[in-house]
Structure 1
Amino acid sequence: MTDMLVVVPHPDDETLSAGGTIRQATRRGDSVTVVTLTRGEEGRTLGICPQEQLAEMRSQEFTAAMSLLGVADALLFPYPDGGLASRSDEAAEDLRVLVERTRPAVVATFPANGMNGHPDHVASHHITRAALRLSGWAPRTVLTFADPHAFRDGPRPGYLVPQEVNRLRVPPNRTHGVADVAEDKLRALGCYDTQARSVLKFLRLHPQSLQTETFHASAWPPGT
C-alpha cells in the first residue's frame, strides 16, 4: 500500500504544486508514487534540445527531480501532450491498474478547473476520478491542488476561459507548511531546465508556494 499517489499530466507539475508535500512525506519514510500521464513532448525546449528529443529530455528531468524528492516509484505514461483528453478512457484504465497495485491512502491531482484551464490539467482530474471509480478503491483523502486566489491570467486558445476557471474553482481547505523542505523543492524545480520559463512564471504568480502548498481535501467516494 502506498501512502500517497500523485497524478499529473506533465513532468514538473508534481513539483510545482506538491513538491514540498512529496518531500515531507518521503522524509517521514512514507511511500510515494508519482505518475505523469504524458512526457511533455509539446512543451518549450528553450533551445536546449530539438523538439523531437524533448520527451526524452523531460523524462530525464523528471527522474532527476524525483530522486531529489526521495521518490522511488515514479512513472511516465505515454499519452499525448496537449491531447490527453482524446485518450482519457485508455489513460483511466492504465491508472486503474496502478491504483489497484498501490492502493493509496491519499491521492493528489489537479482540480476540475485545471488551476489555469489547461486542457491536460483538466483531463488529468477527470482521468484520476474515473480510475478511482473503476478500481473500486477508496483512498482516505483526495487532495486537489487549490489556489487561494481567483484566477488572474487572460484567455488562452484551447484553455478554459477565465470565467469558467473561476466558476469551477474550489478554495483550499488544507495548507501544508513546507518551508523546511523549500531547498529540496527548489533543487527539484532546478532539474527542469527545459521548463525554466514555466517554472519562473509559476513562482512569480505563486511565490508563497515555497512556504506553503494549498489543497482542497475531500473524502472518496464523493459525498461520504
Structure 2
Amino acid sequence: MTDLLLIVPHPDDEVFGCGGTFVRMAAHGKKVATLTLTRGGAGRSLGLCSQAELPNVREQELRGSLAALAVSEAHIWDYPDYVPDANRGMEHRDGLQAVPEADIVGRIADLILALKPRSILTFAPNGSNGHPDHVYTHLYAMKAIEQSGHKLEKLYYFASERPYAGEARAGFLAPQEIAARHLYPTHFVHLETEIEAKLRAMGHHRTQALSVLSFMQYAPRRLHVESFHQAYPELAPGEASATVLWL
C-alpha cells in the first residue's frame, strides 16, 4: 500500500510545497507515489532548449528532483498544460480544462485503485494561485476519488498561511475568487536536515530557475515549513494537529 499519493499538474509542483516532507517520509520508511498530469511544455525554457524539446527536458528535471527527494514511484502523463498567450512562441491552449473529463478522471481513478493510497495530497479548490491547471487538477482528483470508491484515511491540500495576493492574470481565477476559496493550514511540517535535499531537488528544475527564485523571494518560509489543509476527515473548528498522518 502507498502511504501518500501526490496529484499535481506540472513538474516542479512536487518540490515547493512538500519536497521536504517526502524526504522525511522516506526516512521513516513510508512509501510515496506521485502523479504529474503534464510534462510542462508551456513553461519557460530560458534558452536552455527549444520549446519543442521542453517537455522531454522538464520530464528529466522532474525525475532528477524526485530522486533527490527519495521518491521512487513517479507517474508522468502527457496531457497539455495551459498556454496563456503567444509570448512563449506557442498558440493559446486551455490546458487541463480542455481535456475530456471522463478520460482523465477515469485514468486517475484507475491509478488510485492500483496504488490504494492511505492519503492523497493535491491542490486546494483555488489552485493556490488560481492557475487553471491547478484548479482543474483539484476538480479531477476529487471526482476520481469518488469514482474509484477507494476509502482514504486522509485527504490533504496544499495550504498557505497568507491568501495569495498576486495580480489578476488571463485565464486564472479572479483575485477575489482565489481569496474566497482560500483554506488555511491545519498541519505544519517543520523541516530540519531535509532542507538540503529540498534545495537539491529545486536545483534540478534548471529551466524553471525564475520560478525557483520567485519562490525563494516571495515565500522563503516555505523553504523550511511546509503546510497543509486537512480536507478529510474534516476537523472541528479550532482543532488541528502538529503531525500529519503519513509520518
Please, what TM-score do these two structures have when normalized by structure 2?
0.87
Contact 1:179 1:210 in 2 (8 A): no
- Cα deviation 1:84-134 (Å, max 9, x = unaligned): 111133221111111001111110000000000000000111111111001
Q: Deviations over 1:61-104 (max 9, x none)?
A: 01111111111100111111111111133221111111001111
State which structure, 1 or 2, has the greater radius of gyration over its C-alpha atoms.
2
The answer to whether 1:123 aligns with 2:136 is yes
2:110 is the alignment partner of 1:97? yes
Counterpart in the other structure of 1:85: 97
Question: Which whole-Å CA distance do the structure 1 matches of 2:33 and 2:191 have between them?
Answer: 19
How many positions carry a matched residue from both structures? Answer: 223
C-alpha separation in 2, matches of 1:74 and 1:58: 14
Which one-letter code corresponds to 1:204 in the other structure? Q
**Residue number in structure 2 paired with 1:215:** 228
Aligned to 1:147: 160
Task: Show structure 1 runs of 5+ residues with no match.
Answer: none
Q: Of Structure 1 and Structure 2, which has the larger fraction of its residues in helix?
A: 1
Structure 1 length as normaliser, TM-score? 0.96
How far apart, CA to CA, are the structure 2 residues paired with 1:90 and 1:190?
34
For 1:143 and 1:179, locate their aligned partners in 2 and report how far apart those are by CA, in whole Å: 22
Write the letter of the residue equivalent to 1:3. D
Residues 110 and 122 of structure 1 are in contact (CA less than 8 Å); yes or no, is this contact kept in structure 2? yes
Deviation at 1:180?
2.5
User: How do 1:17-166 residues align onto structure 2 when only pairs under 5 Å count?
Assistant: 17-82=17-82, 83-87=95-99, 88-166=101-179
SS in structure 2 of the partner of residue 81 of structure 1: coil
Alpha-carbon distance between aligned partners in 1 of 2:181 and 2:231, rounded to the nearest angstrom: 15
What do you get for the CA RMSD once the two structures are aligned?
1.4
Worse-matched range after superposition: 183-192 or 71-80: 71-80
**Larger CA deviation: 10-19 vs 84-93:** 84-93
